[in-house]
Amino acid sequence: MNVLITGAAGGFGRATANECARLGYNLFLTDLNERGLICLKQGLERQFGVTVAAKACDLTETASFDDLLEFIDENGIRFDMLLNIAGLDHEGAFISRSSDQLASIVALNDVATVRITHSILKRRRTGKPFTIVFMSSLASMFPMPVKATYAASKRFILDLSFALRHELKEQRVNVMALCPGGMVTTEEAVKAIEAQGFWGDITTSPLEIVARKMLRRATAGKSIYIPGIFNRCLAFLGRLVPRSIVAAVVFRRWSATGKNT
Amino acid sequence: MIQEDTCLKTVVVTGATSGIGLAVARVLAARGFYVIGVGSNQESCDREAYPRPHRLNFIAADLLQQSEVKQVAEEIRVRLVNGELYALINNAGCVRSRYMTTEEGYEHQFALNHLAGFMLTHELMPNLIKAGGRIIMTGSGSHTGAKIMWDDVMMTKRYRPLRAYKQSKLCNMLFAKALNDRYAAHGIRAYVVDPGLVRTNIGNKRTGWLVSLIWSLRKRAGVGPDIPAATYEWLCRENEAPKGFYYYMCKERSFSRQVTAENAERLFALSERLCGISYDRTDKRTEN
């Protein structure tokens, strides 16, 4: 099983890579952070004795992206699974962020994800089923003031995932969307979750368990995975309540935690 | 106060800018040792270094990163007199309430509480051998309830914060045992100190609100960090190296039956692999 993981050097990327390596998958890792990639490659090889290839890439830069594909083709690597983990957010009031920051959210979360998915589908191993996981978010379920661009970019991913799932079914491609609430992936995430106290805790899912279940469900052909019962209830409510009301409620909650600046 | 026999003897203390490590660094400096403290951030290093005497200074390094462990070892070597390191106190440690990984993808408590000390000791071993030095680990009485989960030392199946902590403290015991088995002939002694329950902030740093709350309540029953610091100081000061290996309040203490030569060697081999190092190769290099 040859697996490509984007955003592999981040918190969730590392947990996912560990889980894949434990299952004995061959890994191809990519991330913006080259040092982190080298460290992770070493760690995985030392722990599990698996084959790991790694190449740093800025998926939003055409030249860098082409280099990545060239590297893959030169080495004749073909894939059975694509885990689209890479993503970013610049949380905060829309007007207080720069237009470049806002555009970079869409550039990575949507544009780059579409490009890599298309390119890797063209490089799938022939005659074998193929699996794609899209990293969406619980935020994709609601219009979210203060995370407006991010939530919308994840909504794009969610709809893309459902649509591709049907379009590619005949070609033996499993497509699953992962929609987690909070996860302890970075220093900022730890602080953000702590700042929310009880609510932060209850919407936060354990990294190691999400990584394992994500792989299990994706290979079993599920369409969506929302980790945590509480998060599943929130997602359900999000479908019942009119979107304008949801947006107002979310905005009030952010205002209470002082996030709307 | 300064004793002849401690002059120019260098001691390295990790996790030295707060809690037990800070108390140990201060008491050793007051006793006349030259102390190099390693702290996790520059700010706390600066705070503790000024305006203290030259016998106590600090280097900032994030020991969760293996690259920084190597780097800090290099900086330490530059500061040693005649390349001799009299004692290394592997005290830096952490508590996490959730599964978090280092850049290598290693679980935080295992990586900091055990691997960081394992690697730093390896880097400084030639200097320790030259001085016939001592290595002291900060352990915990809680190790007695633990076993090493050999098939999942990083606890990725389901993370249990307390279990991961206890396992890391059992690792300290096994590492100290392996060091004594391997290096007693080189004049090296390794110890583990059980500090008891101490009022430090270990359970309040980067843990969730629940762990932080429980620790805030629990630590009220603890002693100040000066109490366990006396044991470290005694282990460093005694001219004749004490013969035991697990100490609480300057007295030997009984320990887990999991501390066997077999487990110690198994952990040693695993740790060498995870750090990408080999103690044997380094020893040969030193002999040449």
What region, left, alpha or beta, does residue A15 occupy, with left being phi > 0 and alpha being psi -120 to 50 degrees?
A: alpha
Residue with tokens 């508590």: B95
Segments of chain A scoring below 70 in pLDDT? 257-261
**Cis, peptide link before residue B51, omega less than 30° from 0:** yes
* CA distance, residue B66 to nearest chain A CA (Å): 9
* Closest CA of chain A from B157, distance in Å: 7
pLDDT in the model for residue A251: 86
B7 pLDDT band (50/70/90 cuts)? low
The pLDDT of residue B6? 56
**Pick among A5, A33, A184 to test the B interface (most B CBs inside 10 A):** A184
Q: What is the CA radius of gyration of chain B?
A: 18
Over range B133-149, report the average pLDDT: 93
Residues of B in contact with A47 (CB under 8 A): 105-106, 154, 274
Hey, which bits of A96-242 come out as E strands? 130-135, 173-178, 224-225
- The answer to whether B102 touches B64, Cβ cutoff 8 Å, is yes
Q: Does B234 touch chain A (CB under 8 A)?
A: no
CA–CA min distance A68, chain B (Å): 22
Domains of chain A: 2-260 (3.40.50.720)
Is B94 within 8 Å of chain A by CB? Answer: no
pLDDT at position A257 is: 66
Residues of B with Cβ-Cβ distance to A12 under 8 angstroms: none
Q: What percent of chain B has pLDDT over 90?
A: 67
Query: Which 259-278 residues of chain B touch chain A by CB within 8 A?
Result: 273-276
- The residue written with tokens 């890797």 in the block is A120
Residue A60 and residue A100: Cα distance in Å, rounded?
13
What whole-number distance in Å separates Cα of residue B111 and Cα of residue B116? 6
Q: What is the distance of C-alpha B201 from the center of its chain?
A: 17
| Closest Cα in chain B to A201 | B208
Q: What is the pLDDT of residues B153-177, one digit of tens each?
A: 999 988 999 999 999 999 999 999 9
Active site residue B183: no
Secondary structure of B44-67 in the HEC alphabet?
HHHHHHCCCCCCEEEEECCCCCHH
Q: What is the pLDDT of residues B197-251, one digit of tens each?
A: 888 888 888 777 777 888 888 888 888 888 899 999 999 998 888 888 999 989 9
Pairing relationship of beta strands A173-178 and A130-135 according to DSSP bridges: parallel
List pLDDT tens digits, range A87-118: 998 888 899 999 999 999 999 999 999 999 99
Question: In which band, very low, low, confident or very high, does the pLDDT at B281 lie, cut at 50, 70 and 90?
Answer: confident
Q: Is the pLDDT of residue B193 over 70?
A: yes
pLDDT at A181: 87
pLDDT at B1: 46
Q: Considering CB atoms only, which of B66, B154, B209 is closest to A197?
A: B209
Q: Which of B159, B183, B248, B279 is catalytic?
A: B159
Domains and CATH numbers, chain B: 10-287 (3.40.50.720)
As a whole number of angstroms, the distance between CA A111 and CA A88 comes to 13
Distance CA A239, CA A31 (A): 34
> Does B25 score more than 50 pLDDT?
yes
Amino acid at A148: A
